[in-house]
């Protein structure tokens, strides 16, 4: 689809200042193909540019957040297709460029590219039926959207090796114990929980929220010394915002803060 046409494989809606994208290829368990990833990228970019949106949620169906990249679409690709043509991977970078927070609300399978997509989000809230895994080894390949890099950072080398080398699935409680997900809730509470968190985030100062996301990502990707300096600079910079004056004045005067968001 072009960036302006109506999406077919996702559903997009808003709830207050929260933008919600629901992956919607139920018969294929939300297997991620080019069209779906293009539609997802376009929707996230539009929310990122919209001052009326402060936080986003990506979710799937009860049975599957996403069961991976579309195996049928990939099955006949050659090395030249995927290397020279950059098939499969070419439209995944958009997600990394989104500056507002994205919560993954995961129920059911989050496998392969589905697990990688969830890990590209800023944090994961899981339903108690969620199952995470990197089963690519069973297909004669390895993860291709950051799975071998983000998973060890999230759960440590031992568990990441276990998952990548055996292709086994990890249930929601193991995922929470090992640090992959921030919260586990009953399936019927998943969207309430994710929306509650997203609405809360969306009420805070947009600049402070974006700075916090940038700083935590710096911790994830760089050295401690660089990260601490980066945090210090952004911490100082936030004193140039009206939202800092508003937030602190509200606290001192025992009233609710009213942030500008834009
Ligand atoms: N791709 C395409 N179709 C799929 C996929 C998939 N990843 N997963 C499920 N489907 C389809 C099935 O083919 C089936 O279709 P149909 O009804 O037409 O036969 C339908 O969804 C339902 O699936 P099942 O009947 O298999 O459902 P079950 O409940 O029995 O099993 C499972 C559910 C366990 C999730 C099973 O479907 C499964 O193992 N799926 C494949 C999981 C997998 O291997 N994922 C990794 C794919 S490779 C990958 O993601 C590489 C990522 C690289 C990213 C690079 C981008 C940057």
pLDDT at site 220 = 80
pLDDT at site 75 = 93
Which of 34, 40, 67 should be mutated for ligand 1, with most atoms under 8 A from CB? 67
In the structure, which protein residues have their CB atom closer than 6 angstroms to any atom of ligand 1? 28-29, 31, 67-72, 88-89, 92, 109, 111-113, 116, 135-136, 139, 143-145
Torsion angle (degrees, nearest 10) of CA 134, 139, 141, 144:
-50
pLDDT at site 189 = 98
pLDDT at site 92 = 87
Separation CA 255–CA 9 (nearest Å): 44
- pTM across the whole model: 0.96
pLDDT at site 262 = 59
- pLDDT tens profile 158-191: 999 999 999 999 999 999 999 999 999 999 999 9
Separation CA 157–CA 40 (nearest Å): 30
| Residues in the chain, pLDDT under 70 | 1-4, 262
CA of 109 to the centre of ligand 1 (A): 9
pLDDT at site 33 = 94
CA 257 to chain centroid: 28
């Amino acid at each position: 689809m072009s960036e302006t046409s109506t999406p077919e494989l996702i559903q997009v809606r808003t709830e207050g200042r929260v933008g919600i994208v629901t992956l919607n290829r139920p018969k294929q368990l939300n297997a991620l193909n080019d069209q779906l990833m293009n539609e997802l990228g376009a929707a996230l970019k539009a929310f990122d540019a919209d001052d009326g949106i402060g936080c986003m949620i990506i979710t799937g169906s009860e049975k599957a957040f996403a069961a991976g990249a579309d195996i049928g679409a990939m099955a006949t690709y050659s090395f030249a297709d995927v290397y020279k043509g950059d098939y499969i991977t070419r439209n995944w970078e958009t997600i990394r460029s989104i500056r507002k927070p994205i919560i993954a609300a995961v129920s059911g399978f989050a496998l392969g590219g589905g697990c990688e997509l969830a890990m590209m989000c800023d944090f994961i809230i899981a339903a108690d039926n969620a199952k995470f895994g990197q089963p690519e080894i069973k297909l004669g390949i390895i993860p291709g959207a950051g799975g071998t890099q983000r998973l060890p950072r999230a759960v440590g080398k031992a568990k990441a090796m276990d998952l990548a080398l055996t292709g086994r699935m990890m249930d929601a409680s193991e995922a929470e114990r090992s640090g992959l997900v921030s919260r586990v809730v009953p399936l019927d509470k998943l969207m309430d929980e994710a929306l509650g968190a997203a609405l809360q985030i969306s009420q805070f100062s947009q600049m402070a929220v974006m700075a916090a996301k940038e700083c935590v990502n710096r911790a994830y990707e760089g050295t401690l010394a660089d990260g601490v300096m980066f945090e210090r600079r952004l911490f100082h910079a936030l004193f140039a915002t009206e939202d800092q004056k508003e937030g602190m004045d509200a606290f001192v005067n025992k009233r609710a803060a009213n942030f500008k968001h834009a």
